[in-house]
Amino acid sequence: MDLHSVVDQAKGVFGDQAEPVELLGWFAKRVGVENIAVSVSLSGGVMLYFAEMALPGADVLFVDTGYHFAETLKFRDEAAKKQNIITLSPRLSVREQNEKYGQDLYDSDPDRCCAMRKVAPLDAALRGYSVWVTGLRRSKDQEVPLIEFDEKREIIKVNPLSQYSKDDVDRLVEEYGIVENDLRKFGYTSIGCWPCTVPTKEGQDERSGRWSGKSKTECGLHI
């Protein structure tokens, strides 16, 4: 299958805007659900909701970095009762990483920590799929295409929420009763590993609680 051709077809059909369920359903018909992977951080539940609606039975990839909040792991376990959640793990345990690279690498070299504990396991898992579905959304500093071809991974990348704002997501959660990570109740607007995530204050950017105090703003998956 020529994946570049599929991307061109999809862009011709949808342009840069589409309803997520319709978009995901289109790709399921073209490549088959078994060739689609949905990656989630389990920070929120909206992407899980759309995947359940449009891609029943699809693999949902979650990377357990070894540093997740208990609430996030609980959210994963609840989601696994309805969806095919596949938990990915880094090559090194936290203890082994500490022994090899020093204690608390997330503080001394967060880019390397993310690369080993999050990016590498997902990169390896994605090799078996034709389409990668993400929960990536636009922000005031970043435009996100609806459909693209990831040249590095040689995979179609679909961002169904690319045009959604935080208010749009909040509206969906309220309207459809979408279950969220319990940490949302305590001011966590973007949730990653516990050493690198803090609650945000009113008026702050929703991702300002990630890698607080550092210049880092992204784990490396989407760079």
- Residues labelled as active-site residues: 219
Q: How far is CA 22 from CA 35, 55, 150, in A?
A: 17, 11, 22
φ/ψ of residue 211, rounded to 5: 50, 45
| Two structure tokens written together for 70 | 């208990």
CA dihedral in degrees (107, 88, 38, 32; nearest 10)?
150
Q: Six-digit token pair at 120?
A: 């590498």
Axis-axis angle for helices 46-54, 20-31 (nearest 10): 50
What is the torsional sign of CA 187, 189, 190, 196? negative
What is the rounded distance in angstroms from the CA atom of residue 23 to the CA atom of residue 28?
9
Spatial distance between the Cα atoms of 208 and 76, rounded to a whole number of angstroms: 24
Reported as type and span, the H/E element at residue 39 is strand 36-39
Q: Is-contact 206 188, C-beta < 8 A?
A: no
